[in-house]
Amino acid sequence: MTPLTPPPIDYAAVAPLLIVLGAACVSVLVEAFLPRHQRWPAQVALSVVAIVVAGVTLGVYAGDAPAQGVITLGSTMAVDMPTLFLWGTLLVLGFGSLLLIADRSVEPGGAFVASALERASAGAAPGSTTGPSGVDPEHVDRSYGAPGDAPTMQTEVFPFTLFALGGMMAFVAANDLLTMFVALEVLSLPLYLMCGLARRRRLLSQEAAVKYFLLGAFASAFFLYGVALLYGYAGSVRLSAIAEAAVGTDRSDALLFGGLALLIVGLLFKGSVGPFHTWTPDVYQGAPTPATAFMAACTKVAAFGAIARVLYVAFGSTRWEWRGVLWAVAIASMVIGAVLGLTQTDLKRMIAYSSIAHAGFLLLGTMAITQAGTSGTLFYLLAYGFTTIAVFGIISLVRTADGEATHLSQWAGLAKRSPLLAGVMTFLLLALAGIPLTSGFTAKFAVFSAALSDGMAPLVVVALVASAIAAFFYLRVVVLMYFSETPADGPTVSVPGAFTTVAITLGVVVTLLLGVAPTLVLDWAGAGGFTG
Amino acid sequence: MIALAPLLFVLPALGALINFLAGRRANAWGHWLGVATVVASFVIGLLLFFETLGLAPEERTREVSLFDWIASGSLNVDFGLRLDPLSLTFVLLITGVGSLIHIYSVGYMSHDPGRRRFFAQLNLFVAAMLILVLGNNFVMLYLGWEGVGLASYLLIGFYQDRPSAATAAKKAFLMNRVGDVGLAVAIFLIWLELGTLQYTDVFARIGEVPGGTVLAITILLLLGACGKSGQFPLQSWLPDAMEGPTPVSALIHAATMVTAGVYLIARTSPIYNLTETGRLIVSLVGVVTLLIGAVIGCAYDDIKKVLAYSTVSQIGYMILAVGLGPAGYALGIFHLLTHGFFKAGLFLGAGSVMHAMNDDVNMRHFGGLGKHMKITFVTFGLGYLALIGFPFLSGYFSKDAIIEAAFAQEGWQGWVFGGAATLAAGLTAFYMTRLMIMTFFGKERWRELKGPDGKDYHPHESPATMTVPMIVLAFGSVLGGFLLYSIGLYEWLAPSVGELRELEGGVLPHALVPWLVVAFSLLGVVIAYLVVGRRPTPVERPSPVSVPVRAARRDLYANTINETLIERPGIWLTRALVFVDNRGVDGAVNGIAAGLGGGSGRLRRLQTGFVRSYALSMLGGSVLVVAALLAVRFA
């Protein structure tokens, strides 16, 4: 028996990932051993410090990272320029989401609780249509604070967030399909749980969690089956090995393309690309808004980072075979997102359909197996992520006694009562619609021009038409806010706490900056390609 | 000294700005500020003029670059000034006549609550006009061009509570736009061909441009000139512009702005020198206009409108002159200067009469005013003599020179241009004599009448602020022509518009022409005396009248033609477009929107909320993707 030699590890390269995952483990210990009232400050401090330190480490490493990238951990991780950019994106977006998650001022005690009974003990207002009511106070579980105490928060959400973030970072860096699958599960499981933690509208939240879990498991199965077929084809799960096999063998292509199809279905599901989007509206609507922000921004980054890597590294040489199919998927996604968004009456569902349309746009960039396509996609992910976090931050501020007022009719005439909020929301919606001087325009321009120069003109035309259709439902919100009469029992606008203010400000400033001066970030995004 | 040049237009612009922004606080002193800035500009203009006079002729063209104005890709425009004899001549005319008219306005507008606004707009006009003539590139020309258009619009509509003034302002603005489009397109063409808009570069390289394009540029520039200078076919706004206060009519619509077209053609003379056809078209426009103006002038009873059509006609002479090419540029400028003096004087005189007659403009209500306002009578009379070309007054020198040059053309052009110009000189004498007789001589018809405001007329001489400028301008009318001629205006202008070519050949002996013109003018005076002077003038307009008079009273149907050819089809087109927009475009847009909305509503039902159906749709999608990929591979 030959002695096992541990593979060499480039610790500097993977340090940000290790820091985030390590912090997640510490966070579990904090949850287990600290008394309840100390957990929130400890968890917030730990998470913030972990993300900031990971970010600094990443920055230091990226300063003199080799341009062609590093493959480490026994060739399971590829830390190349796109990985570094995606890690950076994930960390800043994760930071923004974490601020929303940690906020306890908008929803007293925070948006996260564990059980239905918790709501009663937290002294929330009755009258929720979906939550259970009339709970017998004798049977209230007191372990999370006595009635009359200040409502408390389910601090497990912090380790969840950190684990999910770590999983996403591993996901976009994974250099073989098995690592990718493990990372997929690491990022997914905490997300399922986070969906079910809403303080208000418990049933909707738990239903969303179950749906997401069931469909996610279904998609994971597709992914795994695809991995199996590809292993059968190439004899390896490494992306570069698959690429080599596709060029230099006469093995049956049925395994290759069958495997690709199933693999890509699993990935498209995570990216909420139509027609694998069905979970998105329900989950976005049901999940606590900060968790929705996290999912919408970071999961999108992770999924499209992985899709871009798989297509670029493993299937770059066979692009002419699969591109037609992805054309159809992209068109379906853009049309579904834009058209179905038209008749949505719930703001969170509307943003969900918007994200499906955006997923279609993003697919254009990933399909262009060129440097411009990669950098455009990366830029788009960053821009979209920040805008989305700010949008959900704003949504969490408009409330009635019963929680967030997400029905469109409740937003009527909001500009009269809160001109600042309406102005910011208008700016963000314009960014989602892709109006110049916002990051949305620059991002769309980068992706569309990359697609155009790679011979996808018809697709770009469809994308432009879809953008035009989608602009309608964004602008409808603007019109509602500015030109409609305020309903008598309209929602109130909460004064955001420091955390939410910072998160929204960050999103708005980045949206504006990327719209006005995009070159710097575009240069970073285009610093280097994927390494296989 | 040249460093002072920007102050020329900066001072009036500041005056305008302060008067516009200071509000009521400036009511007490705003008008004096307006006067001071323009007078200061005039002094600076004089200093620069004498400095330039001291230079050798070839050094008299100087450029001052102030800053990079527009730097965008290959379009680079300098904010720079060109100080040469042509621009300095205009500077002196604008600021000199401008100063006099500003002073006059202090008296004329003394009872008007909007006096500060009036001076602000007048200063704005002076500043814009100075930018127009001083700029060293076409974009600055266009800036000034639009600036004077704006100032003119504001001033015509100064009495904004009168619907007729508002309409006249709109009309002037719209007809100017037509011309402006021509100028703009000409500038675009020049840039397209040469990639530069600096005068020096354009004139140095215009020879590289193909002949057809040069012709197009000259015609488009002429269109611009026609709009601003009230030339055929865009002449009909100028008489309506008399709705503005009389100093405005004198300054803008007689002495300065309407000569911008002449300036434009003289300034771009290197382009016009290249195309005989282009110059011919210019001359034809001038000839048609000078006849139209003279004929219509005979039929009006409104003192200001007669003078307005006289202006149209006199500018026609100038355009005719510059259309004659190197033989005429300097002549056109010469007539422009003398005309600036005597026409401004005439308008100020008319304003003085109106001031005395309760703002009435109908000459049939006047009569015998000479005794009551002696200074006005004398100064107006001198302006009148200058205009009809009384020997050795200023009009005699400048107008005769143009008619001589016209007769010096060969073939039909000599006969047509010279003949028309001579005929119009006779008509000018007729209508101006008619005006003189109806206003200052004969029976005092106003004694039995009430003014337009319902009060009796009490004719009186105007205050000194009004009479002094009139006296100064009268001196100009008498001596201007001789002075300008004898100090060598033609040589002075030579660096800008080229040497004046000596007249040779032509259809008539040169010595004969002055006699002919004087004879025609005399004939006009005599006929006017016979027709108007010997019979009592009816207070009401006689009708019916003969066909030519009826046509002239209706502006030779210019408005009717505009309405039939432009306005009606325009209205029909608008209505048709509105119809198409409502039914076609809106229908399509609403249809698409309804279709999408309906589709959305139906598709929405697929989102049932059941996990099983979601999973089914995912499975369906996956099967399709797998099938499609395999099909692509094995097809």
Identify from B625, B630, B632 which residue to disrupt to test chain A contact, counting A C-beta atoms within 10 A and taking the largest count: B625
pLDDT tens digits, one per residue of B411-470 = 888 889 989 999 999 999 999 999 888 888 888 888 877 777 777 888 888 888 888 889
The secondary structure of A442-483, three-state, reads HHHHHHHHHHHHCCCHHHHHHHHHHHHHHHHHHHHHHHHHHH
Contacts of B599 in chain A (CB under 8 A): 339
Q: Say if CB A182 and CB A140 are below 8 A apart.
A: no
DSSP track, A365-377: HHHS-SHHHHHHH
With CA atoms as reference, the chain B residue closest to A211 would be B611
In angstroms, the separation between the Cα of residue A368 and the nearest Cα of chain B is: 18
Task: Identify the pLDDT of residue A123.
Answer: 44
- Residue A153: is its pLDDT beyond 80? no
- Residue predicted with more confidence, B547 or A411: A411
Q: What share of chain B is helix, strand, coil (3-state, %, to 5)?
A: 75, 5, 20
Q: Say if CB B247 and CB B351 are below 8 A apart.
A: yes
Task: Identify the pLDDT of residue A150.
Answer: 53
What phi-psi label fits residue B556: left (phi over 0), alpha (psi between -120 and 50 degrees) or beta? left
Q: Which one of A218, A321, A342 has the shortest CB-CB distance to B615?
A: A218
CA–CA distances in Å: residue A237 to residues A185, A259, A319, B2: 17, 11, 19, 81
In angstroms, the separation between the Cα of residue B621 and the nearest Cα of chain A is: 6
Contacts of B614 in chain A (CB under 8 A): 211, 215, 278-279
Element (H, E) at B259: none
Complex prediction ipTM:
0.88
Q: Which of A 266-295 lie inside 8 A of B, CB atoms?
A: 269, 275-276, 278-279, 281-282
Task: Identify the pLDDT of residue B27.
Answer: 83
With CA atoms as reference, the chain B residue closest to A265 would be B622
Q: Which one of A218, A264, A324 has the shortest CB-CB distance to B632?
A: A324
Most confident of A49-58, A237-246, B91-100, B381-390: A49-58
User: Does residue B233 have a cis peptide bond before it, meaning omega lies within 30 degrees of 0?
Assistant: yes
Task: Identify the pLDDT of residue B298.
Answer: 86
Q: Do the chains contact at B596 and A469, CB–CB below 8 Å?
A: yes
Q: Do the chains contact at B607 and A262, CB–CB below 8 Å?
A: no
Q: Do the chains contact at A261 and B630, CB–CB below 8 Å?
A: yes
Chain B within 8 Å of A468 (Cβ-Cβ)? no
Identity of residue A149: D
* CB-facing half-sphere around the CA of A27: CA atoms within 13 A: 28
Q: d(Cα A431, Cα A499) in Å, to the nearest integer?
A: 23
Task: Identify the pLDDT of residue A151.
Answer: 58
Q: Which one of A219, A253, A343 has the shortest CB-CB distance to B600?
A: A343
Measured N-to-C along each axis, helices A11-33 and A36-63 cross at an angle, to the nearest 10 degrees, of 180
Domain ranges of chain A: 11-116+152-525
Contacts of B617 in chain A (CB under 8 A): 275, 278
Q: Do the chains contact at B630 and A258, CB–CB below 8 Å?
A: yes
Q: CB count, 10 Å around CB of B570? A: 11
User: Measuring CA to CA, which residue among A242, A218, A206, A249 is closest to residue A115?
Assistant: A206
Chain B within 8 Å of A215 (Cβ-Cβ)? yes
Q: Please report which residue ranges of B83-158 form alpha helices under DSSP H.
A: 85-108, 115-134, 138-156
Q: d(Cα A324, Cα B305) in Å, to the nearest integer?
A: 76
Predicted TM-score (pTM) of the model is: 0.66
With CA atoms as reference, the chain B residue closest to A472 would be B593
pLDDT tens digits, one per residue of B291-315 = 998 988 888 888 888 999 999 999 9
Q: Do the chains contact at B626 and A262, CB–CB below 8 Å?
A: yes
- Name the least confident of A183-192, B25-34, B615-624: B25-34
In angstroms, the separation between the Cα of residue B574 and the nearest Cα of chain A is: 29
Contacts of B609 in chain A (CB under 8 A): 282
What average pLDDT does chain A have?
A: 88
Q: Do the chains contact at A275 and B620, CB–CB below 8 Å?
A: yes
Element (H, E) at A512: helix A498-516
pLDDT tens digits, one per residue of A101-151 = 998 888 877 788 765 454 444 444 444 433 344 444 444 443 344 444 455
Identity of residue A436: P
Confidence bin at B77 (pLDDT 50/70/90): confident
Chain A within 8 Å of B584 (Cβ-Cβ)? no
Task: Identify the pLDDT of residue B24.
Answer: 82
Count Cβ–Cβ pairs < 8 Å, chain A vs chain B.
Answer: 89
Task: Identify the pLDDT of residue A100.
Answer: 93
Q: d(Cα A298, Cα A381) in Å, to the nearest integer?
A: 9
